[in-house]
A = this chain, B = another copy of it.
Amino acid sequence: MNFASDNAGPAAPEIMAAVAAANDGYAMPYGADVFMERATEKLRALFEAPEASVHLVGTGTAANALALSVMAAPWQTVFCHEHAHIAVDECGAPEFFSGGAKLSLIAGDDGKLTPEALSAAIEKTGQKDVHSVQRGPVSLTQVTEAGTVYTLGELEALSEVAKGFDLPVHLDGARFANACAALGCSPAEMTWKAGIDMVSFGGTKNGCLGVEAVISFDPGQAWEFELRRKRGGHLFSKHKYLSAQMEAYVTDGLWLHLAEQANAACARLAEGLAHIQGARFAHTPEANIIYADLPRAAHARAFAAGAEYYLYGPDTSLEGPGDTPIRCRLVCDWSCSDEKIAAILAAWAG
């Protein structure tokens, strides 16, 4: 009963099969393989961006940090939510790859930036001329860290603020597919049509073994990206295993189907959770992540039954008054079964 993360589950059979198939025979290394050629073609079609540059890396941190290093000069600051993955979960990777750029942390309910808060943060940056760090890219996270999803209108409004200051916009799309599935929109609508300049298009959390595509709608940055990727140790020699994953992922809508499965499972879990005595959602779950408060006793029962997920707060001990609410995060991936959901609901219910 693992609800700890969408990186705890298995890869989808189609992905595994593609890797196995790619193992047959020889291929030129470092991305000069036929799988990459096809993956690039399919991603460009999917994003309706025939000129976009496409690069694969093995981790989301690499995707984000490399993207930002191309977008931000060392003396600039990246505007992002205070809980953004790039701010709290990457051990300073953006600072490292960018050569010491800052991150300007902006508060916002439900994991979201507002145009007002973004605008204010940008406004107050760089006013001391050469003494201040300068304004750099805006980085948005979709699905947000709170499990919510920016609407297309919200994305557009934020991009508009950025463009008003002549700043580029990055999208951390580690859960891009889950957001797309939730919004029922196209990848193009959620990116360049909404003002996004570069996107980390995640595969790992959604059924791949480990692959993320960085897609830039400004192809002039491609060669710099390649050099930074190589220099960062993120260019794989047996690149075909990454290419094959990505090709399979964007073939026949697999990326979207997997996300739809994850979101549907999460919706079922949320529905059940709403009926648990004492349960309260911290944010409205809109994709495949739930943040909720549950009584300590419910958690204790679930953990005793073998559940795995994260608790948050000053006191996450399972010993103590049973009705104390404790915050938890629950994540569903594509493989989350009805049985697993039923089992955890039963355990919580007691």
Which residues of A are at the interface with B, using a C-beta cutoff of 8 A? 2, 4-5, 7-11, 16, 19-20, 23-30, 57-63, 65-66, 73-75, 88-93, 95-103, 128, 130-134, 204-205, 209-210, 224, 226-238, 241, 308
Contact = CB atoms under 8 A, between A and B. Distances in A.
A90 B9 contact: no
A25 B7 contact: no
SS of A interface (majority): loop
Contacts of A5: 29, 237
Contacts of A27: 8
Nearest to A23: B10
Residue among A2, A101, A236 with max Cβ neighbours from chain B (10 Å): A236
B233 A130 contact: no
A329 to B, nearest CB: 13
B59 A131 contact: no
A177 to B, nearest CB: 16
A130 B231 CA distance: 9
Contact of A238 (B7, B73, B128, B232): B7
B233 A59 contact: yes
A29 B89 CA distance: 14
A93 B238 contact: no
A251 to B, nearest CB: 19
A176 B238 CA distance: 18
Given A75-B91, A92-B231, 11 more contacts: A4-B28, A8-B28, A20-B20, A59-B235, A61-B233, A88-B131, A89-B131, A91-B131, A97-B233, A130-B230, A210-B237
A91 B30 CA distance: 14
A93 B232 contact: yes
Nearest to A133: B92
A233 B9 contact: no
Please name the 5 residue pairs, one residue from A and one from B, whose CB atoms are nearest each other, closest first. Answer: A62-B233, A95-B100, A7-B237, A2-B26, A61-B233
B25 A10 contact: yes
B7 A16 contact: no
Given A11-B23, A130-B91, A131-B90, A75 B227 contact: yes
Contact of A231 (B11, B93, B241): B93
A52 to B, nearest CB: 19
A241 B11 CA distance: 10
Contacts of A97: 233
Contacts of A133: 91-92
A236 B73 CA distance: 23
Contact of A99 (B60, B74, B204, B226): B74
B61 A235 contact: yes
B29 A10 contact: no
Contacts of A66: 233
Contacts of A58: 58, 210, 236
Contacts of A57: 233
A79 to B, nearest CB: 14
Contacts of A63: 233
A159 B61 CA distance: 35
A16 B10 contact: no
